[in-house]
Amino acid sequence: MATSKEFTNFEEMLQQADKPVLVDFYATWCGPCQMLAPILEEVNLRLHDRLQVVKIDADRYPDLATTYHISALPTLILFKAGQPIDRMEGFMKADRLIPYLESKLDAAA
């Protein structure tokens, strides 16, 4: 399951992470976002030792959405050491998303 955490500062949370962070910018009204939720659960199950999954409701945190130029939902941004290293917009099935993330994690290692 994706980690549900309260944080006071998003950048601080990214900096303190001990592994890369995959941030899912979503909205409760977004159909593709809801379809992506179980896929992100699978990502978390398979890659939990290499990756932390965090979900951010773009409607509740509009400043973060603006900062990271979120114009489509869902948008996934992969962060390493507090910096974005890749972004994906739209729905992606698990059989494509997991190998893609693994390749990005291998390249970022």
The CATH number of residue 59's host domain is: 3.40.30.10
Residue 90 lies in a domain: yes
Tokens of 49: 């030792």
Active site annotation includes 87 = no
Residue 54 resides in a domain: yes
What is the tally of structural domains in the chain?
1
Average pLDDT, 10 consecutive residues per value, the chain (109 residues): 60 89 96 96 95 94 93 96 93 94 86
Q: What is the pLDDT of residue 100?
A: 95
Q: Does residue 23 lie in a domain region?
A: yes
Task: Answer yes or no: 28 catalytic.
Answer: no
- State the pTM of this model: 0.90
For residue 24, what are the domain limits? Answer: 18-108
Q: Which of 30, 47, 53, 105 is catalytic?
A: 30
pLDDT at 9: 84
Does a cis peptide bond (omega within 30 degrees of 0) precede residue 38?
A: no
Candidate list 14, 33, 40, 54, residue with the active-site label:
33
